[in-house]
Amino acid sequence: MRHIKAYQILNSRGVPTIEVEVLTKDGTYIRTSVPQGASAGIHEIAYLYDNDKAYQGKSVYKAVALINRDLQPFLNQHLGKTSIDKFDKLLKQETDAGNVRLVLSLTHAKLLAHKARQPLFKFIAAYTSNPEPSIPIPMFNVLNGGAHAANNIAIQEFMIVPHGIDFYPKQLEAATTIFKALKELLVKKGLCTGVGDEGGFAPNLRSDIEAIKLLLTAIEKAGYTPKEEISLALDIAISQYYDTKTQKYSFPHQGKDGKLVLHDPDEIIQYYKELIKTYPIISIEDGLAEDDWDNWPTLTATLMESNTLSVGDDITVTNPARLKKAISHNAISAIIIKPNQVGTLSETIEVIKTARSNGIINIASHRSGETNDPFIAHIAVGTCVNFLKAGAPNRGERINKYNELLRIHYLHGIN
């Protein structure tokens, strides 16, 4: 390598993050940057921020200096020169900063793929012993609420899932067509067509049910059939509405006096049961709080009765130990895979393998604060996950992931 340089850039939410550039001996530039989530679980690995006046405390100059100064001897000795497992193990001994770990772990994998003269997804496929990489079914977050939007919608993500369409380019076409149909409906109703952090529309609506009905209307208006071709998926992100003292939820309804109504977990589960009975919902993510372990098994059993995925994100945070606990409790039937939650590629892949071997569905995911690095698309294809969340078919940092899947499809013949 000719040089290894870290520096601060901004993610899609205007929050600082790290980018690392490596110039290889053959003159190739390899760049890696890491995302950041707005709705982050308390058990995710912590990022290293400066916590001073710059960028409201979110600048990452300390993390940049750590890479450029303190870790240079380590990087000169190991970066691109050892296995993924060994590098990540040594890296964890050098720093506990999640953003530093991830940017270096991914950079290392990219360098190894470059040396092997393979695209990253093929290198990851070989590393994970997957003989046939595959493109996952995308989950498009076309309507935003919760922590991802400044509106009155409680549910954080309303996604459309083209599970009844086989060909990825056609899945993307369907999502784009439905997204435009949804915009036309919002305009007709005089509603806002501004977008949230993940590119989905963020209007003020009377209820979450109205949001669901709008999506179903948009699907039909675009010429597709709900349930058969396109179904819905919801990310409730309900931890933000959970009171650890009372063990009750202030979600999703308000009383007649405008005050939030507290609900027992059983009431929340019953609410989901009615939703999936009435509407074509194939997945509910973070339906209970991240440490509400006693009630997750009941939630999952209830959802599975209707063939609806019970997806863990905040409860598992792509962490091998928390996944094993979730498996032992029968707490989830699917898991969100976010590499920045755990910090290294090897641990991410360990979680994917453990989930698959225990019958748990894998859903790779971007973050709300994204960059233009499409690494999550390569991880998703290389590890053959079932689904990929990358936001709406809107905004450059989201389209970037979907376009990368197109490149993988057209240039490498991957379906």
**Catalytic hit among 198, 229, 290, 347:** 198
Of 107, 84, 22, give the one whose Cα is nearest residue 383: 84
Question: How confident is the prediction for the chain on average, in pLDDT?
Answer: 94
**What's the predicted TM-score (pTM) here?**
0.96
pLDDT for residue 260: 62
3-117: what CATH class? alpha beta
Residues 6+ apart with CB under 8 A from 47: 36, 60, 63, 97, 98, 99
- CA gap 355, 278 in Å, rounded: 30
End-to-end CA distance of the chain: 34
Q: Characterize 189-209 residue by residue with b for buried, 16 or more Cβ atoms within 10 angstroms of its Cβ, and e for exposed.
A: eebeeebbbbbbbbbebeebe
- CA gap 75, 67 in Å, rounded: 8
The DSSP code sequence of 287-345 is -S-TT-TTTHHHHHHHHHTTT-EEEESTTTTT-HHHHHHHHHTT--SEEEE-HHHH--H
Cα angle for residues 229, 235, 240 (degrees, 5° grid): 170
pLDDT for residue 250: 85
CATH topology of domain 137-412: TIM Barrel (3.20.20)
pLDDT(259) > 90: no
pLDDT(255) > 50: no
Q: Is 338 a catalytic residue?
A: yes
- CA gap 229, 139 in Å, rounded: 13
Tens digits of residue pLDDT in 144-174: 987 656 667 888 999 999 999 999 999 999 9
3-state secondary structure of 203: coil
Residues 6+ apart with CB under 8 A from 407: none
Tens digits of residue pLDDT in 66-98: 999 999 999 999 999 999 999 999 999 999 999
CA distances from 393 to 64, 139, 380 (A): 32, 10, 18
**Catalytic hit among 338, 370, 389, 401:** 338
pLDDT for residue 148: 57
Other CB atoms within 10 A of residue 156 CB? 26
AA letter at 231: S
pLDDT for residue 153: 82
Q: Is 198 a catalytic residue?
A: yes
Tens digits of residue pLDDT in 207-236: 889 999 999 999 999 999 999 999 999 999
Q: Which of 243 and 15 is assigned the larger pLDDT?
A: 15
AA letter at 256: K
Q: Kindly list the domain boundaries of the chain, sorted by start residue.
A: 3-117, 137-412
- CA gap 96, 83 in Å, rounded: 20
- CA gap 379, 345 in Å, rounded: 9
pLDDT(258) > 60: no
Q: Which of 196 and 21 is assigned the larger pLDDT?
A: 21
- Counting residues of the chain whose pLDDT is more than 70, the rounded percentage is 96
